[in-house]
Amino acid sequence: MNKRIKYIGVFIILLMGVLIYRLAQIQLLETESFSEQDVNLMKESVKQRTQEVIIDDGRGRFIDRENKPLNETYLPTLVLFPFLKNYQWPIDQLAAAISVRKDEIEQLLKGTKNEPILLNKEKGFQLDEQDIKAINKLKIPGVFGIFMKTEQSDNIASHLIGMTSENETEWKKRYPDKEITSLSPEVGVTGLEEAFDEFLQPEDASRLLYHVDGLGRPLFGVNVKYIADSNPFYPIAVQTTIDKHLQEKAEQILTKHQINEGGLVLLDIENSEVVAMASKPDLDRNDPKTYENKMLSAMFPGSVFKTVIAAAAIDTNMIKPERTFNCDRNVYGQTEKEEEKRAGTLTFEESFAKSCNYAFATIGQELIQKKSNIIEEYAEKLGLLSFSGWSGKVYHYDQFKQFPREQRGTIWGDDSDKRSAKAIAQTSIGQKNVKVTPLAVANMMATIARGGEKREVKVVDKILYKNGETMYTFKNHLMKGEKISPATSSKLTDLLLQVVAHPDGTGRAFQSLPVKVAGKSGTAETGTLNDNGKKLYHKWFAGFFPAEHPKYALVVVDMNKTSGRAKTNDVFYEMVEQIYNVNEE
């Protein structure tokens, strides 16, 4: 019996020891890194007994080239803390100050589940700066008028700017030597939010907070603490090259013409800067399939790629004025079955203007016979195979990229394709394994317009401190490698002009625009079918304008469409018209 009591006693002592150790582990030893999940118990404890209103999360912001904010605004907001429903307070004065019924405020407080109430334009309460002053003049505990940083409901450039996500594990992985300053640390996961994440990280947030007990009642009376970010340098602003007005117009035009998959890229030619970039479908945080920025994705270019073949043909003196091509034939040299596809005998210039596949398949074969790598060589000279986006050393980043998700272009799937007449023919018209990004095609057009000078594309010009001083400037970069000559650029420009000027050119619809356009159309088979068994195509138009003194390069892509009239021309036309009207104004 005594033995059994001893065993029970030892067991109880051991059990108590384990419990005491566990309590010490939670309360003293592993307060900031508990269990395999690395839980910060102190922070979780603070979360449980703290209620707060984030006025400004302290994360850096994006502005356009004229310092206009993109995708965020500061809304006049009334904050009502929930403990007000348990106290007598001058609700009549507040109602009179903001012209809202007393019973409406009371109803809102009754309906809250111990969470602060935020009333602003998005909630149907039209408040202005004078209202905020009137609210704060009352000095009612638990009632505040603030200007709250808020994402705009009609976000623009959403794919370009990207998204953030609350992810403490990823935050610690990226910044192991930094101290977490937020209860819910965010990281950029797409677009510029991802590229500039380290610069955008908050030093601290501006917030209102108070401490509560288990029932949501104030622990220290009705005092609410205001914590403001007093750092004069942070948060920073990323100044993009985007023109906010033209970005909005681009997105409206794409929606109007029902471009459901695809988008456009508009570049300023002089500095190779992105003025507008829009991708469809619209970004939906709840649907990962919409995250991809199509303008940075490599895809079949179709006849737009004939520009590369034309450049190589010009430089190798392959094109003689008297040479013609039988464009009644298809890409494989067989007579076209459909009569409407027969174009008769055409010169090289006419073949380019009317996009004759047979002519460029023939030229491609001859080019490969002269030099096996000539097609990729000229694609590289025009900037289609390298990354087009700005990259370089920025502080401790040896290769910082403004477009981290940009894909490379490709020409051949396998060297054996260069020994196959059919594969060469398909490659020469931008099919088979040819894939390039719309961004790269826009930059190719800008390169031709600049006389052959290749530049990396910028979408961010500067990083600015909070006080407006410059933290970092992204200088213009030339692209490495060989380039086409000014003479070749001039001849390519003449060809691109004929696409629009020729009575039967594939870009003749642009003849009525107020400025002269040089460009190239493209229709690429994707090799896939829709639900009805119809072939799907990518429709392109890429060009620059005004042709005499080029200012802009523009690419429009309408992806996965069945055959028929392309919407790309409509979008291109209206975008040029819009830019011209804006410049005239």
Catalytic residues: 303
Report the SS3 class of residue 546: coil
β-bridge mates for residue 581, sequence order = none
The answer to whether residues 581 and 291 touch, using CB atoms and an 8 Å cutoff, is no
Give the count of alpha carbons within 13 A of 518, CB side only. 27
CA of residue 211 relative to chain centroid, distance = 39
Which sign, positive or negative, has the C-alpha torsion 154, 159, 161, 164? positive
SS3 content of the chain, % helix, strand, coil (to 5): 40, 25, 40
Burial of 220 (0-12, 13-18, 19+ CB in 10 A): exposed
What's the CA dihedral at 326, 332, 333, 334 to 10 degrees?
A: -110
Angle at 122 between CA 466 and CA 73, to 5 degrees: 15
DSSP string, 22-62: HHHIIIIISSSSBTTTTB-HHHHHHHHHEEEEEEE----EE
CA 366 – CA 348 distance, rounded (Å): 14
Which sign, positive or negative, has the C-alpha torsion 431, 437, 438, 440? negative
Report the SS3 class of residue 259: coil
Query: Helix 486-501 to helix 306-315 angle, to the nearest 10 degrees?
Result: 130
Please state the three-class secondary structure of 159-214 as a single string.
HHHCCEEECHHHHHHHCCCCCCCCCCCEEECCHHHHHCHHHHCCCCCEEEEEEECC
